[in-house]
Amino acid sequence: MNQDFLKQERFETRICCPLCQRDLVMNWQRDNIPYFGEIMYLTARCQCSFRFADTMILSSKEPMRYEMPVETLEDLNARVIRSTSGTIRIPEMGATIEPGSVSESYVTNIEGVLHRVRDVLMTASRWVQGDEAKSSRSQELLCMLEEVIEGNKKITVIVEDPLGNSAIISKKAKAVKLSKEEAEKLNTGMIVFDVDKTELMHDVSDNVQPHGGN
């Protein structure tokens, strides 16, 4: 894509609707969000009900990992900035929140992250009601989450981002630059415009994975 287009604040392009083949207008909106950097919103809506929305990152920083021990109720208030390229891990639970093509960016705190994980676990527990082992594991993880939220159990929260747009804001958080090899193993979760390669890359679907083992 021509980089002159990407420098504009707002513009439109036309594509063919993948469902009905009508002429479809694609809206591009440039923005700058603290911690997330320069971005471009892409949206399109067709008369046939086809909708499309995505986010394209126009800038990137050094790939980073933030690791924070959550030991007290005060730690639950630590700010978490999660961009659409951020991966969140809780090793003690075997839980991983990976980005994908429909992942969302948000600013929350540690407790907010735990509530998101709890919502997924509650949904998963309903899916595996017929499997005694998996159901038991889901309940075990839910109990662990409640203990953490009440300040009775310690965990570690890790945020990794190959584009450096995610972070944990706390004096207790340890920030480490990821190696090139470590960064390449992470999903980016959105369309990324690489000015060095002048091409668009698109990642896979969004998912949260509470693993079965300890």
Q: Are 169 and 78 in contact (CB under 8 A)?
A: yes
Classify domain 64-186+205-210 at the CATH superfamily level.
ZPR1, A/B domain (2.60.120.1040)
Task: Give residue limits of the domains in the chain.
Answer: 3-57, 64-186+205-210
The pLDDT tens digits along the chain (214 residues) read: 444 444 557 888 888 998 899 999 989 988 887 666 777 888 888 989 888 877 666 766 899 999 999 999 999 999 998 887 889 999 998 888 888 766 677 889 999 999 988 888 888 778 777 778 877 888 888 899 999 999 999 999 999 999 888 899 999 999 999 999 999 998 876 444 444 433 333 333 344 444 444 4
Q: Are 68 and 54 in contact (CB under 8 A)?
A: no
The predicted model scores a pTM of 0.69
Q: Report the CATH architecture of 3-57.
A: Single Sheet (2.20)
DSSP 60-120: ----EEEEEEE-STGGGG-EEEE-TT-EEEEGGGTEEEE--TT---EEEEHHHHHHHHHHH
Cα–Cα dist 186/183, whole Å: 6
Torsion of CA 94, 98, 103, 106, to 10 degrees: 70
